[in-house]
Amino acid sequence: MPRTMPGLTRRHQRTHYLLALLLSLVVAAASVTAVGFLAKSEKQAQSRILESRADQIYGLIRSRFQRHESRVQAAAALFASSDHVDRDEWRRFVQTAVDADDGMFEMFWAERIVAPDLPALRQRLNEEGIVDFQLQPPDPRELYCPIVYNEPLETHLDSLGLDICTRPKTLPAARMARETGQVRISDPVNLVADAATPMSGYVMLAWVDASPSQAGGWVGGTVALESLFSGLASRSDLTLQFRDRAANEPLLLSHSADQAQARGVIESERTLSLGGRDFHLVVGTSSGSNLNMILLLTAGLAIALLLGALLMSILRTRARAEQMVDEATQAYRDSEQLLESVTNNISEGIYRGVPGQGLVYINQALAHMFGFADTETMMERSGPILYASPSQREKLYQLLIDDGAYRNQEVEFVRPDGSHFYAINSAVASRNADGSVAHFDGVISDITERKQAEEAVHRLAHYDPLTGLPNRTLLNDRIGQAIAHAGRKQRPVAVMFMDLDRFKAVNDSLGHGIGDQLLVSVSERLQKSLRQYDTISRLGGDEFVIVMPGAGFDAATQKANSLIREFREVFEIDGHELVITPSIGISIYPEDGDQSEALIRHADTAMYHAKEQGRATFEFFTRELNKRAYERLSTETHLRGALANDELQLVYQPIVEPQSGRIRAAEALLRWNSPVLGRVSPEQFIPVAEQSGLIVEIGHWVIETALMQLASWKRLGMKNLMVCVNVSAVQFWRGNLMQSIQQSLASSGLSGRDLEIELTENVIMSDVDKARTVLNQLRPLGVRLAIDDFGTGYSSLSYLKQFKVDHLKIDKSFVRDLKTDSDDAAIVSAVLSMAQDLHVQVIAEGVENAEQLAFLTDRNCDFIQGYFFSRPLPPNDLMRLWARTNR
Ligand SMILES: Nc1nc2c(ncn2[C@@H]2O[C@@H]3COP(=O)(O)O[C@H]4[C@@H](O)[C@H](n5cnc6c(=O)[nH]c(N)nc65)O[C@@H]4COP(=O)(O)O[C@H]3[C@H]2O)c(=O)[nH]1
């Protein structure tokens, strides 16, 4: 089955098949015609040869017959011409003929005698030595024709006495010979009666009339048929048939006759009339010529087929070649289109440049990259590609010359409008035979976006998004660099940790938007006030760190002072005039650390100390500060587990009505007995709890516990008693105070009037509006409000009036020195007087002695609290005290 070529159409294939078939048919027909013609010529030639051969054979057979006939005639002439021919004479006469070995099988003399002559014959023969003459057949009859002489006698004794007139095959010939006087030939006879292989032959008979001394008779010659044809059929290409017409049977068939018949030989026939018999001779050709014809024809047909196949193959090869050319052409077109499509649609710019000529090809993307509408415009207007750095252009071109290529080079290009873009540029050169650059092909990928993204990532990783200042990561780098540089030059580095005082209040009251703007303004102000090589970093929230390479103690002091001064100037943010102060902690390399992290941490510690010192100030880091910072950290660590471990307790200090001496309230005060740190003063752990935010949780616990305690006392009969709890600034602003109080009241079953919260002036004044909102929410619950530590802060009573303050607590620092410090006495007197005017009750704290009590009672102080009456007491002790005082 022919393989179908992909892409070769069926129509083409059919045409090819038809052409090949046609050629095969034409060649086959030509072959057949040629073979026919050749066969015919061959046949004619063969016929001619055959005729000639047949003539030869015919002549030979005829001459062989005639030779035998003439011998018989000669023998007959011998008898006719002699009075008597005796046996010896006969023998001598025919001896040559029978010895010639050319087919004369036997020669005999058969006499015609009548019955009465038979004894004389026997007598004569007996005399001649034939003693036992037997007639064959022996039957008595009138006429006998027995063979009386025959030669060679030795081999043909059995012929002696044979009566030829009794034999149906010889009798007709004998008669005819007598009647015509001619040699006549008998029917074919078997020459050897008992032989295994029959031997055919003829008997030729010639009549000899009787003479006076001799009876008439026949001379006979027995001729072996084979001898007539010997040597004639030896050629394998000839077949012979020799038929006796009268006998009508083949006398001789060549050994190849059957094959010859099967192959249809050419035959030539002759009729041979001899001795009164007609013989039919058929000579045929051998079959060799037919085979040749068949071979020829086969070869012709094979050639036809081969030619057809060859043509088919040629056509197919040609068609395939054409098809391949078509396909290659199509593929080339496709690839050209693909290339065009790709080059015009990819985002990479592609160009070809020729030294001295500039660009000779660019694609669409390249034109767009350089800000041109299309390639034509760029090719017309643009010179060489513009590199931001001409030296880089030279360097890359040198690479092309030296290495033949450069790959993935990051390049900055300039557009005609002056804008820049970043790209990755790769190019490869093609060289002339002399090695010079013939042209170079390049690819440019615009990586501006990637660069921008990288820069954005870098910015995010290293800069504070709000202010654009370096973040902690970059700060660490800068400090590291500053230390490395300073270390070599043995110079100091100052690290300032700056925190904005009460920034949270700004954030909470004015919102984060304003807070953020304030931070930006602060960063700008800081940047303006610092040297170029100083680094300002924002760590987050309101924390800034300033690194000042080369600055030691004096320079840092100077800078801190100037910063604090500069911050006195108002920040105008979105219509708000904000005053904000910084607290600054300073650490110095190398004294306070040689690592960025240590220097920042120590500056932070110093900053806390500055805040503790009353804000808007700065502090240098000291070992003592570090110790305190460590203690604070340790306190915080242990405080985290204090609530859960039940390490906190409340003690209650009575607040007493001086006139009656009755306990009207009890202030709940925290106590922490740490199994590790021992007893820790509230003045030590409360600030830590506030800084860490733990105060929210602890504060809730205090309110809840105090109210539960009061409920318990009330159940035990302690009437007209309320509890006062300290609420810290962090708890007030960040903790959900309202919810905490509501929950605790609910669980204790008490009313709001049983609770008083103590807030410092500073808490309220840090955000008056918000404080008002919170307090207004509490008011409906009946919760009372006391201003703690009054006198230490703003001390603006009239201002506080609007908050419906229930009690003012005069700070114990004023009470302590009442006797010795006239200022304190004056302040206390003034406060008491003002409070009475405003109908606000006053509680004096820290009353330790009778003089203090007398001073206060003289001025109608409403309540007294202090060691003079009682130290803070455990609940049961207070209950016992109450039992003594209030019954
Ligand atoms: N020298 C002297 N001191 C007297 C006298 N009478 C009372 N005190 C002390 O004065 C402090 C009164 O509490 P504070 O001013 O609110 O000052 C409190 C308060 O600000 C804070 N505090 C205590 N408990 C809590 C609490 O539960 N929550 C909050 N936020 N702060 C608390 O800790 C501060 C110290 O508390 P304490 O050590 O318990 O100290 C208590 C108390 O023991 C006296 O006659 N002489």
> Is-contact 862 839, C-beta < 8 A?
no
How confident is the model at residue 422, as a pLDDT?
92
The answer to whether residues 442 and 478 belong to one domain is no
pLDDT mean across residues, the chain: 86
| Cα–Cα distance measured from residue 139 to residue 144, given in angstroms and rounded to the nearest whole number | 10
In a domain, 841, yes or no: yes
User: How many Cα neighbours within 13 Å face the side chain of 219?
Assistant: 25
| Cα–Cα distance measured from residue 356 to residue 372, given in angstroms and rounded to the nearest whole number | 23
Ligand 1 proximity of 875 Cβ (cutoff 6 Å) = no
pLDDT tens digits for range 77-130? 888 888 888 888 888 888 888 888 888 888 999 999 998 988 888 888 888 888
Ligand 1 proximity of 653 Cβ (cutoff 6 Å) = yes
In a domain, 473, yes or no: yes
The answer to whether residues 256 and 111 belong to one domain is yes
Residue nearest (by alpha carbon) to ligand 1 atom 28: 726
Ligand 1 proximity of 726 Cβ (cutoff 6 Å) = yes
pLDDT tens digits for range 471-493? 999 999 999 999 999 888 889 99
How confident is the model at residue 712, as a pLDDT?
96
Nearest residue to 444 via CA among 519, 497, 368, 375: 368
In terms of Cβ atoms closer than 10 Å to its own Cβ (0-12, 13-18, 19+), residue 515 is buried
Ligand 1 proximity of 670 Cβ (cutoff 6 Å) = yes
Residue nearest (by alpha carbon) to ligand 1 atom 32: 726
How confident is the model at residue 273, as a pLDDT?
86
Distances (CA, A) of 555 to 21, 74, 621: 112, 178, 15
Domain CATH number, residue 376: 3.30.450.20
The answer, as to whether pTM is greater than 0.90, is no
> Lowest-pLDDT range, 28-37, 231-240, 454-463?
231-240
CA-based angle 186:248:47, to the nearest 5?
Answer: 110
Ligand 1 proximity of 649 Cβ (cutoff 6 Å) = no
> Which atom of ligand 1 lies at the shortest distance from residue 867's CA?
45
Structural domain span for residue 393: 344-452
Q: What is the ipTM of this complex?
A: 0.95
The answer to whether residues 610 and 561 belong to one domain is yes
- Those residues whose C-beta lies under 8 Å from the C-beta of residue 572, and which sit 6 or more positions away, are 578
How confident is the model at residue 233, as a pLDDT?
58
Using the mean position of ligand 1's atoms as its centre, give its distance from the Cα of residue 654 in Å: 12
Handedness of CA 42, 45, 50, 53 (dihedral sign): negative
Residue nearest (by alpha carbon) to ligand 1 atom 42: 872
In a domain, 327, yes or no: no
pLDDT tens digits for range 237-278? 677 777 787 766 666 555 454 444 445 567 888 888 888 888
The answer to whether residues 541 and 649 belong to one domain is no
In the chain, the number of structural domains is 4
The answer to whether residues 147 and 199 belong to one domain is yes
For the segment 38-45, the average pLDDT, to the nearest whole number, is 73
In a domain, 274, yes or no: yes
> Lowest-pLDDT range, 279-283, 465-469, 568-572, 823-827?
279-283
Mutate which of 635, 685, 701, 726 for ligand 1 pocket (most atoms within 8 A of beta carbon):
726
Last residue of one domain, picked from the residues 567, 588, 621:
621
What tokens appear for 799 in the block? 């201002």
pLDDT tens digits for range 795-805? 677 667 778 89
Ligand 1 proximity of 760 Cβ (cutoff 6 Å) = no
Distances (CA, A) of 590 to 20, 549, 598: 104, 12, 11
- Those residues whose C-beta lies under 8 Å from the C-beta of residue 584, and which sit 6 or more positions away, are 496, 497, 498, 499, 560, 563, 564, 606, 607, 610, 617, 618, 619
Ligand 1 proximity of 848 Cβ (cutoff 6 Å) = yes
Residue nearest (by alpha carbon) to ligand 1 atom 8: 846
Position 577, amino acid? E
Instruction: Say what percent of the chain tops pLDDT 70.
Output: 93
Virtual CA dihedral for 671, 675, 680, 685, nearest 10 degrees? -90
Helix or strand run (H / E) with residue 602 = helix 596-612
| Cα–Cα distance measured from residue 348 to residue 358, given in angstroms and rounded to the nearest whole number | 19
DSSP 818-852: TTT-HHHHHHHHHHHHHHHHTT-EEEE----SHHH
Strand partners, 619: 585
Domain CATH number, residue 250: 3.30.450.350
Strand partners, 442: 351, 427
pLDDT tier at 428 (50, 70, 90 boundaries)?
A: very high
The answer to whether residues 404 and 489 belong to one domain is no
How confident is the model at residue 253, as a pLDDT?
55
Nearest residue to 120 via CA among 152, 144, 155: 144
Position 6, amino acid? P
pLDDT tens digits for range 636-656? 999 999 989 999 999 999 999
Q: Is residue 297's pLDDT more than 80?
A: no
How confident is the model at residue 255, as a pLDDT?
47
- Those residues whose C-beta lies under 8 Å from the C-beta of residue 404, and which sit 6 or more positions away, are 428, 429, 431
In a domain, 634, yes or no: no
User: What are the helix (H) ranges across 358-471?
Assistant: 364-369, 375-381, 390-403, 448-462
Most confident of 45-59, 284-298, 440-454: 440-454
Using the mean position of ligand 1's atoms as its centre, give its distance from the Cα of residue 759 in Å: 13
Mutate which of 650, 653, 669, 727 for ligand 1 pocket (most atoms within 8 A of beta carbon):
669
Nearest residue to 872 via CA among 696, 687, 681: 681
| Cα–Cα distance measured from residue 190 to residue 197, given in angstroms and rounded to the nearest whole number | 10
Chain-centroid distance of CA 153 in Å reads 113
How confident is the model at residue 249, as a pLDDT?
63
Domain CATH number, residue 751: 3.20.20.450
The answer to whether residues 235 and 106 belong to one domain is yes
How confident is the model at residue 323, as a pLDDT?
77
| Cα–Cα distance measured from residue 281 to residue 283, given in angstroms and rounded to the nearest whole number | 7
Q: At what angle do helices 694-715 and 875-885 cross, to 10 degrees?
A: 40
> Is-contact 659 858, C-beta < 8 A?
no
Ligand 1 proximity of 867 Cβ (cutoff 6 Å) = yes
In a domain, 328, yes or no: no
Ligand 1 proximity of 265 Cβ (cutoff 6 Å) = no
The three-state secondary structure class of 448 is: helix
> Which atom of ligand 1 lies at the shortest distance from residue 865's CA?
6
> Is-contact 487 559, C-beta < 8 A?
no
pLDDT tier at 5 (50, 70, 90 boundaries)?
A: very low
Helix or strand run (H / E) with residue 576 = strand 576-578
| Cα–Cα distance measured from residue 837 to residue 412, given in angstroms and rounded to the nearest whole number | 79
Strand partners, 218: 110, 207
Using the mean position of ligand 1's atoms as its centre, give its distance from the Cα of residue 403 in Å: 84
The answer to whether residues 67 and 183 belong to one domain is yes
For the segment 175-194, the average pLDDT, to the nearest whole number, is 85
Nearest residue to 865 via CA among 709, 719, 660, 667: 667
Q: Is residue 17's pLDDT more than 80?
A: no
Using the mean position of ligand 1's atoms as its centre, give its distance from the Cα of residue 669 in Å: 6
Virtual CA dihedral for 296, 301, 305, 306, nearest 10 degrees? 10
| Cα–Cα distance measured from residue 745 to residue 755, given in angstroms and rounded to the nearest whole number | 9
Using the mean position of ligand 1's atoms as its centre, give its distance from the Cα of residue 763 in Å: 17
The three-state secondary structure class of 372 is: coil
What tokens appear for 64 in the block? 């062989």
Most confident of 224-233, 307-316, 381-390, 719-728: 719-728
> Which atom of ligand 1 lies at the shortest distance from residue 668's CA?
27
- Those residues whose C-beta lies under 8 Å from the C-beta of residue 194, and which sit 6 or more positions away, are none
The answer to whether residues 193 and 83 belong to one domain is yes
Task: Give the long-range contacts of residues 315-324, CB within 8 A, separation 24 or more.
Answer: 315/15, 315/16, 315/19, 315/20, 316/5, 316/8, 316/16, 319/5, 319/8, 319/12, 319/16, 320/5, 320/8, 323/5, 323/7, 323/8
| Cα–Cα distance measured from residue 519 to residue 503, given in angstroms and rounded to the nearest whole number | 9
Q: At what angle do helices 503-510 and 512-529 cross, to 10 degrees?
A: 140
For the segment 321-325, the average pLDDT, to the nearest whole number, is 77
CA-based angle 42:44:47, to the nearest 5?
Answer: 105
Ligand 1 proximity of 669 Cβ (cutoff 6 Å) = yes
pLDDT tens digits for range 557-608? 999 999 999 999 999 998 999 999 999 999 999 999 999 999 999 999 999 9
Ligand 1 proximity of 682 Cβ (cutoff 6 Å) = yes
How confident is the model at residue 248, as a pLDDT?
62
For the segment 508-520, the average pLDDT, to the nearest whole number, is 92
CA-based angle 446:448:449, to the nearest 5?
Answer: 110
| Cα–Cα distance measured from residue 65 to residue 16, given in angstroms and rounded to the nearest whole number | 69
The answer to whether residues 171 and 289 belong to one domain is yes
The answer to whether residues 366 and 508 belong to one domain is no
For the segment 289-318, the average pLDDT, to the nearest whole number, is 74
How confident is the model at residue 193, as a pLDDT?
67
Strand pairing class (200-208; 184-185): antiparallel
Last residue of one domain, picked from the residues 559, 588, 621:
621
How confident is the model at residue 592, as a pLDDT?
92
How confident is the model at residue 606, as a pLDDT?
93
The answer to whether residues 604 and 650 belong to one domain is no
How confident is the model at residue 8, as a pLDDT?
55
> Is-contact 236 136, C-beta < 8 A?
no
> Which atom of ligand 1 lies at the shortest distance from residue 650's CA?
27
For the segment 276-300, the average pLDDT, to the nearest whole number, is 73
How confident is the model at residue 257, as a pLDDT?
44
> Is-contact 217 189, C-beta < 8 A?
no
Ligand 1 proximity of 812 Cβ (cutoff 6 Å) = yes
| Cα–Cα distance measured from residue 637 to residue 645, given in angstroms and rounded to the nearest whole number | 13
In a domain, 629, yes or no: no
What tokens appear for 439 in the block? 């042209």
DSSP state of 752: G
> Is-contact 525 583, C-beta < 8 A?
no
For the segment 839-858, the average pLDDT, to the nearest whole number, is 94
Ligand 1 proximity of 690 Cβ (cutoff 6 Å) = no
Instruction: Report the b/e string of 724-757 with b at 16+ CB within 10 A.
Output: bbbbbbbbbbbbebeebbbebbeebebebebbbb
DSSP 227-243: HHHTTTS-STTEEEEEE
In a domain, 321, yes or no: no
Comparing 289 with 436, which gets the higher pLDDT? 436
Domain CATH number, residue 565: 3.30.70.270
